Structure 1
Amino acid sequence: MLQLCPCCSGKPFAQCCNLYLSGQAYPNTAEALMRSRFSAYATGNLPYLRKSWHPDTCPELDADDLTTQWSRLEVIKSKQGLKKSIVEFKAWYREGDGESALHEISLFKLYKKRWVYVGPLSDWP
């Protein structure tokens, strides 16, 4: 059975974020990186989360950070720049009998020629 990608792209996982999570490729846009990070949270890929986080802002991560059941991703808007980019999204997760969402405007920067997650912004700049 075909497994769709957790990032909600509609593509098969093997042809979408798994290319990044398995190390076959690296995202060439901030939105692709953000989608792959959602998939990493959804599938419990801690090494990828560390690798895709800016070293200056990456917290100590362990398996306890991966206990949330992420259900779907909604990209609201994305602004791709040359050295920094911004992506606004809602990441939906299961909580009790319902669903809740994490709404974030995220900053991404080029670091050593790769896009990395820096952290949340307070609002769209």
Structure 2
Amino acid sequence: MTEELCPCGSGKPLQQCCQLYLSGQTYPNNAETLMRSRYSAYVTGNLPYLRKSWHPETCPELDGDELQTQWSRLEVVRSKRGLKKSVVEFKAWYLEDGAERVLHEISLFKLHKKRWVYVGPLAGWP
């Protein structure tokens, strides 16, 4: 029996990749890893992890409807690491009405209480 690959696109088994973060065994040490683990949380339906990894000032009320989307793949376009802020540009494909669509976002991440958290999308990035 083959191991399930992680949805984040790393090519690693889920148990050796994002599941370490989703289960709370450890926490991502950079914004790109956090973004990948958040994508995996959407795919696997882990609402508590999404809440925990979202900046408290920008986290919306999450009721589970966010988890209804059928995500199909993730591509990290680029990322820029900073000491207290980082930016990750990604494309996440999903299925809607039988067609594949893409969410293209440039996201801001910040260190909050010594952990990386998702803040929200940026309007643009040079």
For this structure pair, what is the TM-score category when the shorter chain's length is used for normalisation? over 0.9
Note the residue ranges of structure 2 that are not aligned, 5 or more in a row: none
What's 2:112 paired with? 111
* Unaligned ranges ≥5, structure 1: none
Q: RMSD over aligned Cα, in angstroms? A: 0.7
SS of 1:36's equivalent? Answer: helix
SS of the counterpart of 1:14? helix
Partner of 2:85: 84
Match of 1:27 in 2: 28
How many Å separate the matches in 2 of 1:44 and 1:68?
10
- Percent identity over the alignment? 77
After TM superposition, the score normalised by the length of structure 2 is 0.97
CA distance, structure 2, for counterparts of residue 120 and residue 63 of structure 1: 20
Secondary structure of 2:43's aligned partner: helix
Shift of 1:63: 1.4
Tell me the alpha carbon deviations over residues 22-41 of structure 1, each in whole angstroms, 9 at most, x when there is no partner. Answer: 00010000000000000000
Q: Distance in 1 between matches of 2:65 and 2:119?
A: 21
Q: Point out 4+ residue stretches in structure 1 off by more than 2 angstroms.
A: none
Q: What displacement does 1:97 show?
A: 2.1
- Post-superposition CA distance 1:65-123 (Å, at most 9, x none): 11000111000000010000000000110112221000000000000000000000011
Distance 1:95 1:59 in 2: 23
Question: Take 2:98 and 2:74, find their aligned partners in 1: how far apart are those partners?
Answer: 19
Aligned equivalents of 1:5, 1:71: Cα separation in 2: 12
Q: TM-score, normalised by structure 1?
A: 0.98
Measured in 1, the distance between the counterparts of 2:85 and 2:64 equals 29
Q: Aligned to 1:90, what secondary structure does the other structure show?
A: strand
